[in-house]
């Protein structure tokens, strides 16, 4: 395990299934924490996801769980439950789970019970609808929350059906918020000597992604509309078909729009009352986008790339996954990499420290791959020397 990362020495226990909690554990592992991933006897759900498979498991499981220690624990079994509690009480700094609301308490894994015996423990709970309110015990998944939060109502073509984002933005976002909460709690613990409970949820994450739309609705009652590859508050800021694909063009202000007009050979648009300001362009979106599209379809992506680079216009091709993985920029960043002993390349940490990206520390393996190491830790190792808060306060006094 790397010894120069920010969370080196921190021990995390992740009782996570599918995507949200495993993504939180992945973030913390990439930051240097030792993450013990607890799997049910049948394994994490993502082991069975398809269609892409690698070494008998879903490729998704590899993407979400590399760099972790994998242990098989049946929380319904008394012996296994005792083993998990011993790991938490004697060695863990952080416990993350996305158990269905109410079920953690049945096994003594709720934050209140755990922190009675270990007040310095940080517990991160990822729920579906949030820890409060009439729906707080209901189950939920990424597409449900994209629907319930309104994200799908503003995603898709204007005259088409609502569309789910093609990636699990709510699951991954919830894991990210949980990790942020854990990091903040670790800092708070170092200053105030107290543990904490972090509550994150799929719904609250989805609502956070709706921040601009909610603000707009509360300002003028506009619930938002679908604009395909565009957005509601800037024009032009969308994809246009070119001779060999599609290209996103972004003009976030009037000055950038004037530059685009010059690049397109239409400088007169900058003095046209219909297009001169963003407010006017919003009113005349359909006509302006049609005119831009008629020009851009005449040339391929590479021609526009050179032209727009010359003028300093923000743009990007809509790439397929194979184009992304094989692009020279992605190769230069080395963000897609393999793990020790495994040739499957997955996405590594999107963070670098002092210019260096954390390496993936270990490949995944079968369910319970590290159970023997866990048994040795629990039977031979002394509890971690982190002292209870009361003793620490006496030292400070």
Residues 281 and 275: beta-carbon distance below 8 Å: yes
Q: Would you state the structure tokens that stand for residue 284, as one six-digit string?
A: 């005349």
Closest CA to 350 of 14, 23, 11: 23
Neighbours of 322 (CB within 10 A): 8
Q: Would you state the structure tokens that stand for residue 39, as one six-digit string?
A: 């799997």
Q: Using a CB cutoff of 8 Å and minimum separation of 24, what contacts does 299-307 make? A: 299/242, 299/243, 300/242, 300/243, 300/244, 300/245, 301/242, 301/243, 301/244, 301/245, 301/247, 304/242, 304/247, 305/247, 307/263
Alpha helices in the chain (DSSP H): 20-30, 59-65, 78-91, 111-117, 142-148, 169-192, 202-209, 211-220, 254-264, 278-283, 285-296, 301-311, 321-325, 328-333, 371-380, 389-396
Backbone angles phi, psi at 245, to 5 degrees: 155, -145
The SS3 of residue 139 is coil
Residues 318 and 249: beta-carbon distance below 8 Å: no
- Judge whether 171 counts as a catalytic residue: yes
Q: Would you state the structure tokens that stand for residue 72, as one six-digit string?
A: 């098989």
Gap between the Cα atoms of 367 and 42, Å rounded:
8
Residues 142 and 216: beta-carbon distance below 8 Å: no
Gap between the Cα atoms of 263 and 247, Å rounded:
15
Closest CA to 69 of 13, 9, 17: 13
* Catalytic hit among 93, 110, 171, 370: 171
Between CA 85 and CA 132, with CA 173 as vertex, the angle to 5 degrees is: 65
Question: Catalytic residue numbers?
Answer: 171
């Amino acid at each position: 395990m790397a010894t120069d990362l920010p969370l080196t020495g921190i021990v995390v226990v992740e009782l996570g299934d599918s995507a949200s909690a495993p993504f939180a554990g992945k973030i913390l592992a990439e930051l240097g924490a030792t993450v013990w991933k607890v799997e049910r006897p049948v394994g994490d759900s993502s082991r069975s996801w398809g269609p892409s498979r690698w070494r008998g498991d879903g490729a998704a499981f590899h993407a979400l769980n590399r760099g972790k220690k994998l242990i098989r624990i049946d929380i319904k079994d008394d012996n296994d439950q005792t083993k998990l509690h011993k790991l938490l009480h004697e060695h863990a700094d952080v416990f993350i789970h996305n158990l269905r609301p109410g079920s953690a308490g049945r096994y003594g894994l709720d934050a209140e019970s755990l922190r009675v015996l270990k007040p310095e423990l940080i517990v991160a709970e990822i729920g579906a609808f949030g820890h409060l309110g009439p729906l707080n015990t209901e189950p939920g998944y990424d597409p449900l929350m994209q629907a319930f939060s309104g994200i799908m109502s503003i995603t898709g073509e204007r005259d088409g059906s609502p569309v789910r984002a093609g990636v699990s933005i709510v699951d991954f976002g919830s894991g990210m918020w949980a990790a942020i909460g854990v990091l903040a709690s670790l800092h708070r613990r170092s200053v105030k000597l107290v543990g904490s409970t972090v509550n994150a949820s799929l719904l609250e994450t989805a609502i956070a992604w709706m921040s601009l739309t909610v603000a707009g609705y509360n300002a003028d009652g506009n619930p938002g509309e679908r604009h395909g590859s565009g957005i509601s508050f800037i024009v032009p800021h969308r994809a246009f078909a070119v001779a060999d694909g599609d290209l996103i063009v972004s003009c976030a202000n009037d000055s950038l729009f004037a530059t685009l007009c010059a690049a397109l050979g239409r400088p007169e648009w900058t003095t046209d009352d219909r297009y001169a300001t963003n407010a006017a362009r919003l009113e005349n979106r359909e006509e302006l986008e049609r005119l831009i599209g008629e020009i851009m379809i005449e040339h391929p992506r590479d021609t526009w790339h050179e032209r727009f680079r010359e003028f300093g216009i923000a743009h990007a091709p809509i790439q397929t996954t194979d184009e992304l993985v094989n692009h020279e920029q992605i190769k230069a960043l080395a963000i897609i990499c393999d793990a020790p002993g495994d040739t499957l390349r997955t996405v590594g940490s999107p963070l670098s420290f002092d210019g260096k990206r954390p390496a993936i520390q270990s490949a995944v393996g079968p369910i319970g791959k590290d159970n023997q190491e866990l048994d040795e830790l629990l039977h031979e190792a002394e509890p971690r020397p982190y002292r209870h808060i009361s003793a620490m306060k006496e030292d400070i006094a």
